[in-house]
Amino acid sequence: MPRILLFTGKGGVGKTTIAAATAIKASKLGYKTLVISTDPAHSLADSFQMELDPMPTKIDENLYGMEVNVEYELEKHWDVIKEYLSIFFKSQGIDDVIAEELAIFPGFDELASLLHLLGYYKEGRYDVIILDCAPTGETLRLLSVPEVARWYMNRFFGIEKKLLKIIKPIAEPLVDTPLPSEEVLNKIQELYTKIGELKNILEKEDTSVRIVMNPEKMVIRESERAFTYLNLFGYRVDCVIVNKIFPTQAGDYFSKWLELQNKYLEEISSRFPVPIFKVPFKDTEIVGDKLYELCDELYGNEDPTKIFYLDKPMSIEKENGHFVLKIKVPFASKQELKLLKRGEELIIVAKQWKRIVFLPQSLALKEPIGANFINGELKIKFGEIHERGKNQGSNTR
Ligand SMILES: Nc1ncnc2c1ncn2[C@@H]1O[C@H](COP(=O)(O)OP(=O)(O)OP(=O)(O)O)[C@@H](O)[C@H]1O
Ligand SMILES: [Mg+2]
């Protein structure tokens, strides 16, 4: 089955460049590679300096690229459903223009790209499929689309098809709500099935998300947030790529920047417990042939399709009414452990080792009330402040 790599990161950090360079490296190693751009700005074509169609276009030996045309996709997959929904909303007394807007399923543009991924995945013609995603926030939304879509569909179309077929002729004249036709229901069922398949593929071990970042404060913050939420949604981040690192010969003018970047590079290693790849800031923009040079600098002798990290570094579960954050830690035995919560951050310190975890909203408002350590995993229980101390055996202090 094809290996899937999704590249995300804050705006402008170098996602498209890194995705393109990764695709080149994979294709040079003999993998048949497809790189898909989901960005309506179409920068993948600029990066390769050639036109790309909304279907796989040959770029080089073993290397194909495409740019998704969202409007076309919308029409292909959603038109029938959209028509029904807008009639439905209008029947509820919603203004025409608003009804039309509401009828576009939230996140459909993202879903369109993912449906492509599904298609090419199942077709099995490529060894590697690379997705150059939109900036982090949108990617997170995109990756939650399968869940959200299921919810949305259940809510709206949670009526059994067979049942509907029987009741429609009887019920429709009696209620003032138009019921969906069989065509609409078929289309919904088709989408529903695809979304389920998609979710399964995205959660597989050989699907990895790679976060591209620059050694800068704001970029690191956003990447941390993404890392936490990706873990939470059950996606696997197998490495992060720090791009645009100033070379030491950058000169006096950049000396402060060099110092800052070094500090941030250290911070990155305490915040992202996955392999870190580093890419220098080049003396010119990286397009066309320059990508071919960059791809070796990026991965060196490594195979870019390798799964660099497989473990799930953290997860959140609910146990007996409490949220429990589970974190993999590299030490083997219980030792002096300090937990410190500062707003959205949880800081875990054990001797020389330090890990900073960005907490999701559900935990940021709570306090750690107990912790224990079993088989290389730290389990931290969260609750209200007044619950602290009730829990025997806590070694948080
Ligand atoms: N290591 C680097 N050295 C020099 N220039 C770089 C490097 N990486 C990327 N660039 C340049 O930075 C610019 C932005 O890169 P790119 O388009 O890959 O970012 P992006 O994250 O995809 O942006 P967007 O969020 O707009 O999609 C491009 O002009 C690219 O050539
Ligand atoms: Mg881009």
Q: Which of residues 272, 299, 326 is at a domain's end?
A: 299
Report yes or no on 102 lying in a domain.
no
47 Cα–ligand 1 center, Å: 9
- Across the beta sheet with 57-60, the strand order is 57-60, 63-67, 33-37, 128-132, 3-9, 207-213, 237-245, 276-280
* Secondary structure E strands in 113-236: 128-132, 207-213
How far does residue 46's CA lie from ligand 2's centre (Å)?
Answer: 10
What pLDDT, in 10s, does the model give residues 79-125?
887 888 888 888 888 888 887 777 776 666 667 778 888 999 999 99
**Of the bound ligands, which one is closest to the alpha carbon of residue 13?**
1
Q: What is the pLDDT of residue 394?
A: 42
Question: Do 239 and 380 sit in the same domain of this protein?
Answer: no
The CATH number of the domain holding residue 373 is 2.60.40.790
How many whole angstroms separate alpha carbon 3 and alpha carbon 206?
A: 6
Tokens of 243: 């791009």
Ligand 1 within 6 A of 137 CB?
A: no
Give distance in angstroms: CA of 92 to centre of ligand 2: 41
Q: Is residue 24 classed as helix, strand or coil in its secondary structure? A: helix
Q: Could you tell me if residue 171 is inside a domain?
A: no
**Radius of gyration of the chain from Cα atoms?**
24
What is the domain-level CATH number for residue 257?
Answer: 3.40.50.300
Report the pLDDT value the prediction gives residue 65, as an integer from 0 to 100: 96
Measured distance CA(30)–CA(127) in Å, rounded: 9
206 DSSP 8-state letter: T
Q: Which of 6, 7, 8, 17 to mutate to test the pocket of ligand 1 (most atoms within 8 A of CB)?
A: 17
Task: For residue 13, report the distance from its CA to the centre of ligand 1, in Å.
Answer: 6
- 57 and 145 part of one domain: yes
Asked whether 215 lines ligand 1 (CB < 6 A), one says: no
| Residue 60 and residue 135 share a domain | yes
C-alpha to C-alpha distance for 57 and 311, rounded to whole angstroms: 35
Give nearest CA residue, ligand 1 atom 23. 12
Q: Identify how many contiguous H helices and E strands the chain contains and give both numbers.
A: 12, 15
Find the helix or strand (DSSP H, E) in which 37 lies: strand 33-37
Pairing of strands 314-319, 322-328: antiparallel
Are 216 and 277 within one domain? Answer: yes
The β-bridge relationship of strands 3-9 and 207-213 is parallel
Same domain flag for 381 and 352: yes
Structural domain includes residue 178: no
Decide: 370 and 381 in contact? Cβ < 8 Å. yes
Give residue 14 CA to ligand 1 midpoint distance, Å: 4
Do the Cβ atoms of 11 and 41 come closer than 8 Å?
no
The whole-angstrom separation of Cα 98 and Cα 397 is 55
Which bound ligand lies closest to the C-alpha atom of 17?
1
The CB of 244 under 6 Å from ligand 1? The reply is yes
Residue 122 lies in a domain: yes
The verdict on the CB of residue 11 being under 6 Å from ligand 1 is yes
Structural domains counted in the chain: 2
| pTM over cut 0.75 | yes
Q: Which of 267, 299, 331 is the last residue of a domain?
A: 299
- Of all ligands present, the nearest one to the C-alpha of 8 is 1
Is residue 164 included in any domain, yes or no? no
Write out the residues surrounding ion ligand 2, Cβ under 5 A. 15-16, 43
Nearest CA to ligand 1 atom 2: 281
Give Cα 163 distance to the centre of its chain.
38
Asked if residue 355 and residue 266 are part of one domain, the reply reads: no
In a domain, 284, yes or no: yes
What are the tokens at 23? 């695709």
Instruction: Looking at the structure, tell me whether residues 234 and 380 fall in a common domain.
Output: no
- Ligand 1 atom nearest to CA at 46: 17
pLDDT in tens, 320-368: 889 999 988 776 666 677 888 988 889 988 777 788 888 888 888 899 9
> Angle 320-326-329 (CA atoms, 0-180°, nearest 5)?
150
327 located within any domain: yes
- Ligand 1 atom index nearest CA of 280: 1
Shared domain for 295 and 326, answered yes or no, is no
CB of 37 closer than 6 angstroms to any ligand 1 atom: no
Could you tell me the residue range of the domain that residue 377 belongs to?
Answer: 314-387
What's the CA gap between 111 and 70, in Å, rounded?
A: 9
Q: Which ligand is nearest to the CA of 138?
A: 1
Tokens 């390798």 found at: 306
Q: How far is the CA of 43 from the centre of ligand 2 (A)?
A: 6
- Structural domain contains residue 160: no
Cβ of 345 below 6 Å from ligand 1:
no
Is the CB–ligand 1 distance for residue 279 below 6 Å? yes
Last residue of a domain, one of 271, 299, 327: 299
Q: CA-based angle 162:163:164, to the nearest 5?
A: 90
Q: Clarify whether residues 207 and 351 are in a common domain.
A: no
pLDDT for res 189: 78
**361 and 264 in a common domain:** no
Give the span between the Cα atoms of 95 and 101, in whole angstroms: 10
Residue 13 CA from chain centroid, whole number = 16
Low-confidence ranges of the chain (pLDDT < 50): 391-397
Nearest atom in ligand 1 to the alpha carbon of residue 20 is 18
Residue 166's pLDDT is what?
65
Closest-CA residue, ligand 1 atom 25, reads 11
The tokens describing 32, both together, are 């048949």
Judgement on whether residues 15 and 147 belong to the same structural domain of the protein: yes
The Cβ-side half-sphere exposure at 380, using a 13 Å CA radius, reads: 25
Let me know whether 11 and 136 are in one domain: yes
